[in-house]
């Protein structure tokens, strides 16, 4: 029997359930990231879209969204907001699709986002060895192939 992390007086039946620990760790990391990014007035998800557009200019928003597991329908307001904020521009190579590109302001914002993300990564995972970090990432990515 293991103690519950949050309450040593209780038994924790989920202490060794990886899926559960994954959820708790992810929720906490996201909450921290959300708080840190609020200084830049951008959400974690919008930030991931911005970084993906910057790394892959002139792609459709459907394709950018697919790479992030975000549905077309949910990309519409995300991209509209990024454009409103002057971070992203929509080029129109044909009449039914866009080619998304980062503006200069978007690139600055992306740099700020990366800085914040790196600080958080250091704080949360900085004490892991490089090999452990590599194993960790590989294990996480492997999960997605088994879903």
Partner DNA sequence: TATTGTTATACTCTATAACTATA
Partner DNA sequence: TATAGTTATAGAGTATAACAATA
Taking 3-state DSSP, the helix, strand and coil percentages for the chain, each rounded to the nearest 5, stand at 65, 10, 25
**Residue 16: helix, strand or coil by DSSP?**
coil
- Closer Cβ to a second copy, 9 or 95, answer by number: 9
Number of residues forming the site for a second copy (CB under 8 A): 64
Q: If contact means CB under 5 to 8 A according to the sort of partner, which of a second copy, DNA, none does residue 117 touch?
A: a second copy
Q: How far is CA 84 from CA 74, 103, 141, in A?
A: 16, 12, 33
Say which entry of a second copy, DNA, none residue 103 contacts (CB below 5 to 8 A, set by partner kind): none
Based on CB atoms, which residue is closest to DNA, 39 or 127?
39
Binding test (CB under 8 A) with a second copy, winner from 18, 76, 80, 111: 18
Instruction: Find the binder of a second copy among 43, 66, 99, 112 (CB under 8 A).
Output: 66
Residues 6+ apart with CB under 8 A from 20: 14
Task: State the residue for tokens 């600055």.
Answer: 108
């Amino acid at each position: 029997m293991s103690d519950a992390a949050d309450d040593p007086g209780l038994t924790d039946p989920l202490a060794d359930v990886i899926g559960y620990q994954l959820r708790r760790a992810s929720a906490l990391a996201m909450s921290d990231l959300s708080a840190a990014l609020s200084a830049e007035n951008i959400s974690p998800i919008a930030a991931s879209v911005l970084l993906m557009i910057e790394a892959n200019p002139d792609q459709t928003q459907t394709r950018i969204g697919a790479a992030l597991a975000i549905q077309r329908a949910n990309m519409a307001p995300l991209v509209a907001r990024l454009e409103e904020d002057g971070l992203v521009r929509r080029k129109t190579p044909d009449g039914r699709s866009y080619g998304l590109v980062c503006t200069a302001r978007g690139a600055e914002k992306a740099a700020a986002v990366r800085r914040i993300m790196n600080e958080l990564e250091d704080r949360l995972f900085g004490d892991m060895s490089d090999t452990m970090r590599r194993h960790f990432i590989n294990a996480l990515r492997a999960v997605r192939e088994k879903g």
